[in-house]
Amino acid sequence: MSENASIETLGGIFRDNQIFALMSHVRPDGDAIGSQLGLGLALEAMGKTVHYWNEDGLPENLEFLPHSEKIARPPHEAPEVDVAIALDTATKIRLGENNLRAASQAKLWVNIDHHISNPRYGDVNFVDASSPATGQIIYEIIKSLDMPLPEGSRDAIYVAVSTDTGSFQYDSTTSRTYRLAADLLDRGLAVGDINAKIYDSHPYRRIELMRSLLNTLQLSADGRVAHWDMLDATRISLGLKPEDSEGLIDLIRAIRGVQVAVFFEELPDGKIRVSMRSKDRSTNVCEIATLFGGGGHALAAGIRMAGPLEAAKEKVLAAIATAI
Q: How many angstroms separate the most distant Cα atoms in the chain?
A: 59
Specify the pLDDT at position 228: 97
Instruction: Report the alpha-carbon angle 238-60-217, nearest 5.
Output: 40
Specify the pLDDT at position 133: 96
Specify the pLDDT at position 170: 85
Mean pLDDT, to the nearest integer, of 46-70? 97
Asked if the domains 7-199 and 205-323 are classified in one and the same CATH topology, the answer is: no
Q: Where does the pLDDT of residue 2 fall: very low under 50, low under 70, confident under 90, or very high at 90 and above?
A: low
Specify the pLDDT at position 128: 95
The CA-based dihedral angle spanning residues 200, 155, 247, 236, taken in that order and rounded to the nearest 10 degrees:
80
Q: Where does the pLDDT of residue 227 fall: very low under 50, low under 70, confident under 90, or very high at 90 and above?
A: very high
* pLDDT higher than 70, residue 1: no
Mean pLDDT, to the nearest integer, of 38-49? 98
* pLDDT higher than 90, residue 280: no
CA 308 to chain centre: 26
Q: Cβ distance 78 to 99 under 8 Å?
A: no
Domain 205-323 maps to which CATH number in 3.30.450.20, 3.30.420.40, 3.10.310.30, 3.40.50.2020?
3.10.310.30
Mean pLDDT, to the nearest integer, of 164-187? 94
Q: Where does the pLDDT of residue 295 fall: very low under 50, low under 70, confident under 90, or very high at 90 and above?
A: confident
* Strand 225-230 relative to strand 71-72, pairing: unpaired
- Gap between the Cα atoms of 254 and 235, Å rounded: 24
CA 166 to chain centre: 12
CATH superfamily to which 7-199 belongs: inorganic pyrophosphatase (n-terminal core) (3.90.1640.10)
pLDDT digits (tens, 9 = 90+) for 101-125: 999 999 999 999 999 889 999 999 9
Q: Return the percentage of the chain with pLDDT > 70, whole number.
A: 99
* pLDDT higher than 60, residue 58: yes
pLDDT digits (tens, 9 = 90+) for 265-274: 999 999 999 9
Q: Where are the beta strands (DSSP E) in the chain?
A: 19-24, 49-54, 71-72, 83-87, 108-113, 124-127, 218-219, 225-230, 260-266, 272-278, 295-296, 300-305
Position with higher pLDDT, 172 vs 16? 16
On average, the pLDDT of the chain sits at 95
Q: Domain coordinates of the chain in residue numbers? A: 7-199, 205-323
pLDDT digits (tens, 9 = 90+) for 69-110: 999 999 999 999 999 999 999 999 999 999 999 999 999 999
* pLDDT higher than 70, residue 275: yes
- Gap between the Cα atoms of 249 and 242, Å rounded: 14
